[in-house]
Amino acid sequence: MNVPLCPCQSGKTYGQCCRPYHDGKAAPTAETLMRSRYSAYVLGNGAYLHRSWHSSTRPNKKSLMQLPPTDWQGLEIVRTEQGSGQDVSGVVEFIAHYRDGDQPQVLHETSRFVREAGRWYYVDGTY
């Protein structure tokens, strides 16, 4: 039986990795949330992106439900700062690879996260 690996490239299956977060489980770290958000982009899960985006910076749900199709190719975590244990904030720098037609592209972002009431949320990112 060929079980597909998670889009976030953790090496685990989707069911062992990002699916529980997409289904409502709280991500334990900022990096885990970042990975689950990447998987949500790959899978077109705009509802999860909306739920995991902090209310102070979150776009409207309709815009996230109408994401343009993107051919995501891979994710690299460059570094993390805080974002676990009892931290209330965290930073994850990542590189996401995708294709625009035949052209390979790179999204290099440093994302900020906050934890409120035991849940991590994406706040914003700089490129």
- DSSP summary character for residue 37: H
**Domain architecture of the chain: domains with CATH:** 19-126 (3.10.450.50)
pLDDT, tens digit, 9 for 90 and up, residues 67-93: 888 999 999 999 999 999 899 999 999
How does residue 104 score in pLDDT terms, banded at 50, 70 and 90?
very high
What phi and psi, each to the nearest 5 degrees, are found at residue 70? -130, 140
Long-range contacts of 100-105 (CB under 8 A, 24+ apart): 100/71, 104/73
